[in-house]
């Protein structure tokens, strides 16, 4: 009976740059990843209910650079720090009341999205722009799986808006598709470029 082939986990950028890390250094990477997303969250284009932000780009870059588990841990840290009151969400918001925001479901979706980006990076998809783009588009779609139902719940059950599926999609999906593709494409350029830089450093050593 033949064994089932299991994809081999490959080093991600963090592994290549610092192959012999301690747990304390890994914790530092997680905190740094949360900080990157917090910074990019302040790059916003305001919309009535859910703003366009740089968060998704941060999620992809952090997930791909740190790998699935550390990437997800970084976004979970970001989420918890924001809920604790730190102004790390878009437009310098934060606090427990954020759970009542129509956009909060997308924040929840960032945690598995970072995991997905890291999973593809662990299979070396992040080293070639075309494969990176495919993986990063898949990761970019994940927040919508949590964000759209949560948006509908807040609008209808909490705010009493009585919006149907078409109206929810109009405010929670269609305005973000082009921007999501652009951010995935930008990450698909930046991450393989970082890998080329790492290889160049290795060759000069």
Q: Return the HEC string of 163-188.
A: CCHHHHHHHHCHHHHHHHHHHHHHHH
Question: Is residue 1 in some structural domain?
Answer: no
Residue 132 is part of which domain span?
13-199
Residue 40 within a domain: yes
Decide if 6 is inside a domain.
no
Q: How many residues does the chain have?
A: 205
Work out the average pLDDT over 181-203. Answer: 89
Q: Give the CATH number of the domain where residue 56 resides.
A: 1.10.1760.20
Residues 163-176, mean pLDDT to the nearest whole number: 92
Share of the chain above pLDDT 70, in %: 94
Query: pTM of the entire structure?
Result: 0.92
The 10s digit of each residue's pLDDT in 28-45 is 999 999 999 999 999 988
Candidates 114, 35, 30; CA nearest to 72 is 114
């Amino acid at each position: 009976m033949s064994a089932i082939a299991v994809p081999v986990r490959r080093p991600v950028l963090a592994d290549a740059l610092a192959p012999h890390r301690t747990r304390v250094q890994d914790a530092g990477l997680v905190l740094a990843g949360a900080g990157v997303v917090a910074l990019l969250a302040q790059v916003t284009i305001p919309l009535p209910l859910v703003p366009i932000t740089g968060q998704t780009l941060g999620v992809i870059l952090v997930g791909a650079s740190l790998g699935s588990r550390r990437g997800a841990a970084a976004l979970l840290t970001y989420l918890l720090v924001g809920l604790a009151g730190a102004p790390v969400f878009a437009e310098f918001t934060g606090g427990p009341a954020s759970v009542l925001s129509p956009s909060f479901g997308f924040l929840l979706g960032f945690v598995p999205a970072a995991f997905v980006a890291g999973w593809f990076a662990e299979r070396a998809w992040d080293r070639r722009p075309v494969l990176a783009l495919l993986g990063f588009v898949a990761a970019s779609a994940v927040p919508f799986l949590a964000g759209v139902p949560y948006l509908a719940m807040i609008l209808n059950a909490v705010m009493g808006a009585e919006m149907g599926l078409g109206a929810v999609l109009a405010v929670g999906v269609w305005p973000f598709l082009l921007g999501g593709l652009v951010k995935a494409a930008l990450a698909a350029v930046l991450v393989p470029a970082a890998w080329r830089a790492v290889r160049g450093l290795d060759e000069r050593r």
